[in-house]
Amino acid sequence: MSSTTLSHARHVLSDNPVTLLATALFIAFVLIAIAGPALVPFDPLATNSAVALRPPNGTHWFGTDALGRDIFSRVIVATRLDLGIAFAAVLLSFVIGMPLGLAAGYFGGWWERIVTRAADTVMAFPLFVLAMGIVAALGNTVGNIVLATAVINLPFYIRVARAEANVRRGAGWIEAARLAGNGPWRILAVHLFPNTLPPAMVQVSLNMGWAILNAAGLSFIGLGVRPPEPEWGILVAEGAQFIVSGQWWVSFFPGAMLMLAVFTFNLLGDALRDILDPRRRT
């Protein structure tokens, strides 16, 4: 990243407190995902019936679950898995969807019709139900959860890239690049792609939140990550039955962590757009 981009990023972050908060929360989540499992005070899988369903206290900050496992340790360790699933799924859909959408918008014709109809077909299904069907058919492994989440996110990138390429393919600077001897694929990669990044980054940030919710939702209904692996959706599902009897902390803390992660990525999109948009670097 160049010094100009870094300077612009500092200006964007200092100019908007909400953007700065979202960036700080994002960095915190990344650090938790990387270092959290090595820093937790208890083994997240270790059971101890003697301290089952204890409320938050000085030893167990988030309390314990029905098997006596430390909820704080389980919530922290689950961060790596949930963010890893979301990142892998969004990266896969971005890497496939952006080139397809750019080519469809730039070349048009039969290629555009095929790509857009395929995206419309996916969007015609309720996306979470489609993800459920894919995981149920292929098996509830982490790889299949990533694949299902990537499939339901794919149309968003196709549509964003296609719309941007469709609008910009007749612009003067594209014509200049073409007259300078640049081939169509070089124009797509060097000229169009960087200019589609700002709206695409907003979509990436939103999709990260949706991907986390999708993974948690699949785990909540029993089609996601399998217990006893710590995962936010599993932790909420395990604690749901205890809310009525007063053990609110079992599902509250993983649910709050899930909500905070989605909130962070929803806010982060504006920051990424402002930092990457070349028209704002003035």
Q: Is pLDDT at 211 greater than 60 in this prediction?
A: yes
pLDDT for 109: 86
Of 273, 151, 282, nearest to 203 by C-alpha is: 273
Domain count, the chain: 1
Does position 15 have pLDDT exceeding 70, yes or no?
Answer: no
Distance CA 183, CA 168 (A): 16
Q: Is the model's pLDDT at 173 over the cut of 90?
A: no
Q: What does R_g of the chain's alpha carbons equal in angstroms? A: 22
**What is the model's pTM?**
0.87
Helix axes 249-276, 17-39, angle to 10 degrees: 130
CA diameter of the chain: 77
Computed over every residue of the chain, the mean pLDDT equals 88
Does residue 247 contact residue 161 with C-beta atoms inside 8 Å? no
Catalogue the E-assigned strands of the chain: none
Looking at residue 266, its pLDDT comes to: 86
Dihedral, CA of residue 28, residue 30, residue 36 and residue 39, to nearest 10: -60
Provide, rounded to the nearest whole percent, the portion of the chain with pLDDT above 70. Answer: 90
- CATH code (residue 245): 1.10.3720.10
Report whether pLDDT(282) > 60.
Answer: no
Q: What are phi and psi of 64, to 5 degrees?
A: -130, 160
Whether the pLDDT of residue 159 is over 90: the answer is: yes
What contacts 56, CB < 8 A, 6 or more positions away? 62, 63, 249
Q: What is the pLDDT of residue 7?
A: 64
Local structure of 70: helix, strand or coil: strand
Q: Is the pLDDT of residue 182 over 60?
A: yes
| pLDDT at residue 3 greater than cutoff 70 | no
Of 214, 89, 216, the C-alpha closest to 157 is 89
pLDDT for 156 beyond 90: yes
pLDDT in tens, 26-40: 999 999 999 988 889
Distance CA 85, CA 56 (A): 29
Q: Which of 126, 120, 87 is nearest to 104 (CA)?
A: 120
Question: pLDDT tier at 14 (50, 70, 90 boundaries)?
Answer: low
Residues 184 and 193: their CA atoms lie apart, in Å, by 12
Q: Is the peptide bond before 228 cis (omega within 30 degrees of 0)?
A: yes
pLDDT of residue 243 exceeding 90, the answer is: no
Residue 70 bridge partners (DSSP): 64
Find the Cα–Cα–Cα–Cα dihedral 33, 38, 44, 50, rounded to 10°: -140
What's the pLDDT tens digit per position in 66-121? 999 999 999 999 999 999 999 999 999 999 999 999 999 998 888 899 999 999 99
Q: What is the pLDDT of residue 43?
A: 93
pLDDT reading at 281 higher than 80: no
- Predicted local confidence at residue 277, as pLDDT: 59
User: In this predicted structure, what is the pLDDT of residue 108?
Assistant: 84
Cβ pair 142, 83 in contact under 8 A: no
In this model, does residue 4 exceed pLDDT 70? no
Q: What is the mean pLDDT of residues 179-184?
A: 84
Residue 8 has pLDDT above 60, yes or no: no
Predicted pLDDT of residue 276: 63
The pLDDT of residue 262: 92
Range of the domain at 29: 3-280
What is the pLDDT, as a whole number, of residue 9? 61
- Helices 71-107 & 109-123, crossing angle to 10 degrees? 150
